[in-house]
Chains A and B, each alone.
Chain A
Amino acid sequence: METIIHVQDLSKSYNADKILDIESLEIPKGQSFGLVGNNGAGKTTFFSLFLDLIPPTTGQIESKGVIVNHSEEWKPFTSSFIDESFLIGYLTAEEYFYFIGDLRNTSKAEVDELLSEFEDFFHGEILNQKKYLRDLSKGNQKKAGIVAALIGQPEIVILDEPFANLDPTTQIRLKRIIKDLSAQNQVTVLISSHDLTHITDVCERIVVLDKGKVVKDIKTSEATLKELELYFER
């Protein structure tokens, strides 16, 4: 399969502390890629580098041929939801979705069509609420953010801790959505999680980060969950 993401000699340091140090990492197109690691392992740092929110100390990330900190050309095919700072609090959920749709050249009708697929995911608590996003609960905010990241047929989707704060029903639905994305639409999905069960359920490949370094790179199988649990038990 063709590789869509190349990471090379990527490192990020604050003062003398190296918090991320990845020699090389290649992610093929359409893979669902999971990132696990304890707090401070560098998961969010990696995503922030990927979205060019922080500059790398050395090395680079090449996303579909674009070096992310040199050009903005990666923006049209990349979308993400990292945290609440990706939401616009004073918009209603619909307005927010249409805003993202406008940015990604997706018409209202197309956005509506996409939203209709997520009706059961929203559980009737997001749309037609006459409420601003800032007044929604944390869990519902997260749902809105995740769905917004799927608008406009992105080729790469980045979700940081998507399962946290969600209710069990929604977690199960989200897992199906992510699986479908990579299996049917060839979307490359990068997610991080602290929940080993969820991430092994969803991802074809799991990379374990520890203190900024890749310590495990596993193709998910029956034995993966056990292996991860053993690793983190140390």
Chain B
Amino acid sequence: MARLTLKNIGKSFGKTEVLKNISLDVEDGEFLSLVGQSGCGKSTLLRIISGLEAPSRGEILIDGQVVTEQSPKQRNIAMVFQDYALYPHMSVAENMAMPLIMSQLPLHARLPLVRHVAPSARRAKPSMATQVETVAKQLRIDHLLTRKPAQLSGGQRQRVALGRALVRNPGIFLMDEPLSNLDAKLRVEVRREISELHHSSGLTFVYVTHDQTEAMTMSDRVALMQGGEVLQVAAPNTLYTNPVSVDVARFIGSPQINILPVQSRLDGLFLGDINLHLETIGKVSDLQLGLRPEALSFRGVAGLQLQPIKPGSILLPFQKRMVEDLGPEILIHGCFEADPEIEIRVRAQKNTDYGKTDQFAGTHKLQVAIDPTQLLLFNAHGLRIQPTPHMAQSLGEVVT
């Protein structure tokens, strides 16, 4: 149980700056994910939290204590690695007992040869064995305790790695892409198990992943990183519906959000020459319009579930290029006739009529309705413009 605070953390390798001034607060018992593409610095940040890497600048606090100079052992953290990092020649039980041996036994009881006869080691053994067994039962690996890591499957190895981390009651649990070496089916299973583990243990989790689904499904909050900076820290739903910038909107959500260049004029918002009849920021400037694939819906196509058209919806002519059937829904790729350069993805729910006729055969020109309540507007620098007039004005000034 611990609260983690990062203050202005920076890290440079030679001349390359991989982390720029990162400040984060992780509450006691919170599950925070660090998400971003590879090379965004998320793993480096995790290694800095663990103490395996020293920051070039800034401070790390655990429960209000500065731990920047402390070794990983002193910080009482546990870490799970992508490739499990089990000790290859030790059995599962020995692997899991290692953190206990290292933290509970004095140095002389860990020396080679001496450790086999030291009385303190002999006394501590039974209690360690019970602790290992308890955790092994919890993770359902108690039947594997005598095996070597090489004799285990990927999922079992990952459970052993989790067990080794859990057995010592760490304050903070760090995970570095623990699921990426597992196959897709197992990944969903272990994902659920990690979530359950978080709930039952009540520990503080910091979880690094490049997979947004993992981050969105497991976390209390997600920190989205890019180029060594944290772009936004928010609950998964907030990150999706209320991104602070185009980069965040682009990263979160699959299929990806549609971003259209639009122009704000005094009399409205224009896509090409078409007035979208939306509120404008009152100044002439170039903006970007973000449309989630589900914020769009088709009119007059059989087989698709029609969403009720909200008042103020905008109807635009749409040119279809490709249709992907995803099972319960379909994904249509195409473009608005007003701007054929930009590819647009539209997600539509099928209804029971779908498949009875070839709905799209021959039809290339469709009508798309845009839900005006689900629009995301960004300025030319990619920053979000909130729909309140006051906010819009202040952001507009930044633009010009």
Do A and B form a real pair? no
